[in-house]
Amino acid sequence: MFKSAEALKDSQYDGVVLAYHGGGRLILDGPHFRTVGQEFAYQNPIYTIRTLTEHVMTMDGSPLFGSWSGGWLGVLSKQMDDHNKFHEQWWVKPELESGQ
């Protein structure tokens, strides 16, 4: 996804549909997708990974996750939990349910 964002960094989108096997599963905020692409060459990838989920929505446009505040270790832990849940909802759970 990050390489795609880099390749498309000069384009603008309202949202980017994150699909799995041809079906839309989640939406990534379009302006954030562009920011990821523009910053890909120099941004710390751990920062990009841990803050990505704050910009992910369900297919109806509702935020999938919120943002966290507090001590850095607690925030980091919650952000990484959200990142794991993001992948579960995007492709892991559908893959396991399909039995393939």
- The terminus-to-terminus CA distance of the chain in angstroms comes to 23
Q: Residues of the chain with pLDDT > 70: what percent?
A: 99
Rounded Cα distance, 7 and 100, in Å? 31
Tell how far CA 21 is from the center of its chain: 17
3-state secondary structure of 15: strand
Picking from 40, 34, 47, the residue whose alpha carbon sits closest to that of residue 3 is 40
Q: Are strands 15-20 and 56-57 parallel, antiparallel or unpaired?
A: unpaired
- 22-67 pLDDT, tens digit each: 999 999 999 999 999 999 999 999 999 999 999 999 999 999 999 9
Tell how far CA 32 is from the center of its chain: 9
Give pTM, 2 decimals: 0.89
**Domain boundary assignment for the chain:** 2-98
Pair of tokens at residue 77 = 């832990």
- Note the pLDDT of residue 99: 75
Picking from 96, 91, 97, the residue whose alpha carbon sits closest to that of residue 21 is 91
